[in-house]
Structure 1
């Protein structure tokens, strides 16, 4: 089976959510292939990229160079891919062109966030931002996109339930979840040993889009003067100015950290926080629990799914976050939260997600023989 993975959404220099999802799946697939897993017999994996710079963020695998997903030729990209004779193409998005395809296609819809919160990512070109807003005014365009596929993937039971609730596809729906980085889950002994060395530092990792609701966390810091909140991600000057009214002396904008710095902070900080109103998965939550770092998180369905033992708070109530953080000052409670958080994180792995993708792809090709 020849499997092409659409890696054209890989960022340069740092990952965002979809970029990391793609790279992590590819790394797990490569490891399974190198280990000669039975599902990899006669398997050829090829990455489709649109810029050579993307290779720095991806594993060392065969690749093809094709046009960007924002190129005007995108509706006809399948004709280009046909030249490489794939049996299956997997895309981490749902917008890849399928006109004239001669292969099985698996599309991915991570979440339905932008129907409720339609503001597009600011890094997209202006015309695409306009199209983004129009696209999310109705479910009909999404149905048309997804029903071009032979199967649809999503990252969580919560997203799958919403896809079914809104009847977004008639095609088979599969869950291929996110996970903490392979090998990053610490042992319980190591996690407990870290507790005594953790500092009064709180972390936020994620974008600053409005639905992320960072304001709640910043307001809470007024009543946590002995703690400091590190806002780890890159932020535009405009958005930082909008948040300026909430800034106190114990809040710091980090404007991005390396993966190594992020792992060190997860190993030494009191907790990771998020007051997000919606998520498709919430990878930083699982990454934190994998490092023995408690999570104080919104009381929303997806966080109950991926982190049932996190400390769940009303995302509109800063005092709820203050009170939850204060409970972590009890050593016995902190130890319990760490133990339970590790068990939450251990339920997900990129190996299992890669195997799920291979199962879907393999069953497609077998059905045609």
Structure 2
């Protein structure tokens, strides 16, 4: 398991996916007669990785030597290597390789994450100018994994690989017993996610003047510059509406315990992202029995339960702030909230790390069989 994308401070989406999948695969692999080991690039990563899994330290995934990393990995004599990204070097490998493509967001929104080094940011932009580099990377693998059927369909539509594509979904952390759907929620709305442009947090803020009596909590960390941009957008939205509306709280990061406590009492988790790879905060909220109000995207239709009482979709066009506010007001009816809460928990139960791990183990056993092992 390539765990080099694990963070050293707190998980992001790729980090949590890799670490959670590694824990579940390790726990389920012994009965199948498989031994699981991890590749890391920094021993500080071990703090966010499961205990008891053997590990090996190799070079980092953004090093100049990454195209040749298979030389280091080959010396460890693995049968199969799984990477939660698609950029792992493969030159000279003698083992089966599974690469992961989470989504195609950055072809539509090519701005790279701001935390990447500047040379990597330029390579990122060049990489996403067309599909040829993606095809080259994916075709080096024996199989490709992705986190949703929506992305698997997009990979097929754009003919991104000749290799078989397998869905190994993301999943929320184990939630225990969901919240009581009959208990009245607090008038709080939660946003968990990055503040990149395509997340359209501005439309959430456009709803603020229409939601007097609520508190909107923006939970994730953000730069001082981005906070100033959003604060100015909020000021203009309030001025245009002539109303202050909801209170807005910038948490600038929250730990797991606080996040869970907020989810289990809030009216809804909200996201108006214009593109998404999976939408883990959607599954996390629903696992707690918390309704989700989200953009009407194909991936959210898959993850958030379109066609059930759990679905509260907001169109991608028009006055999205007003549409969000209307959805929030709809949940003020106790019967509507209870129905959405129950349906959310039922839908989220379909996503577990054990289920994803079993899919990956099935894929591994298939590759071993193909190689006569």
Q: Deviations over 1:282-318 (max 9, x none)?
A: 0000100110110000011001101123200014411
For residues 36 and 367 of structure 2, the distance between their equivalents in structure 1, rounded to whole angstroms, comes to 16
Partner of 2:336 in structure 1?
A: 333
Partner of 2:49 in structure 1?
A: 58
CA contact (8 A) 1:120 1:133 kept: yes
User: Which of 131, 139, 143 is the matching residue for 1:151?
Assistant: 143
For residues 134 and 316 of structure 2, the distance between their equivalents in structure 1, rounded to whole angstroms, comes to 28
Partner of 1:191 in structure 2?
A: 180
Partner of 1:222 in structure 2?
A: 209
Partner of 2:11 in structure 1?
A: 15
For residues 347 and 300 of structure 2, the distance between their equivalents in structure 1, rounded to whole angstroms, comes to 11
Summarize the alignment of residues 1-369 of structure 1 with structure 2, pairs less than 5 Å apart. Answer: 5-33=1-29, 36-37=30-31, 39=32, 41=33, 43-60=34-51, 61-182=53-174, 184-187=175-178, 190-192=179-181, 195-196=183-184, 198-247=185-234, 250-308=247-305, 309-316=310-317, 317-369=320-372
For residues 139 and 267 of structure 2, the distance between their equivalents in structure 1, rounded to whole angstroms, comes to 45
Partner SS, residue 36 of structure 2: strand
Q: Deviations over 1:118-166 (max 9, x none)?
A: 0000000000001100100000000000000000000001100100000
In structure 2, list runs of 5 or more residues that go unmatched: 236-243
For residues 281 and 82 of structure 2, the distance between their equivalents in structure 1, rounded to whole angstroms, comes to 24
For residues 263 and 233 of structure 2, the distance between their equivalents in structure 1, rounded to whole angstroms, comes to 24
Q: Report the CA distance between 1:262 and its aligned residue.
A: 0.6
Q: Report the CA distance between 1:185 and its aligned residue.
A: 4.5
Pick which of 269-278 and 235-244 moved more: 235-244
Partner SS, residue 247 of structure 1: helix
Q: Report the CA distance between 1:18 and its aligned residue.
A: 0.3
Q: Deviations over 1:172-207 (max 9, x none)?
A: 10000011113x1424xx4325x32x2111000000
Partner of 2:238 in structure 1?
A: none
Q: Report the CA distance between 1:96 and its aligned residue.
A: 0.4
Q: Report the CA distance between 1:214 and its aligned residue.
A: 0.3
Partner SS, residue 96 of structure 1: coil
CA contact (8 A) 2:40 2:57 kept: yes
Q: What count of residue pairs does the alignment treat as equivalent?
A: 355
Q: Which runs of 4+ in 1 moved over 3 A?
A: none
Q: Report the CA distance between 1:267 and its aligned residue.
A: 0.7
Alpha-carbon distance change, 226 to 315 in structure 1, aligned in 2, over 3 angstroms: farther
Partner SS, residue 229 of structure 1: strand
Q: Report the CA distance between 1:80 and its aligned residue.
A: 0.3
CA contact (8 A) 2:181 2:337 kept: no
Q: Report the CA distance between 1:31 and its aligned residue.
A: 2.2
For residues 204 and 274 of structure 2, the distance between their equivalents in structure 1, rounded to whole angstroms, comes to 12
In structure 1, list runs of 5 or more residues that go unmatched: none
For residues 128 and 330 of structure 1, the distance between their equivalents in structure 2, rounded to whole angstroms, comes to 49
For residues 35 and 180 of structure 2, the distance between their equivalents in structure 1, rounded to whole angstroms, comes to 39
TM-score for both structures, normalised by structure 1: 0.94
CA RMSD across the alignment? 1.1
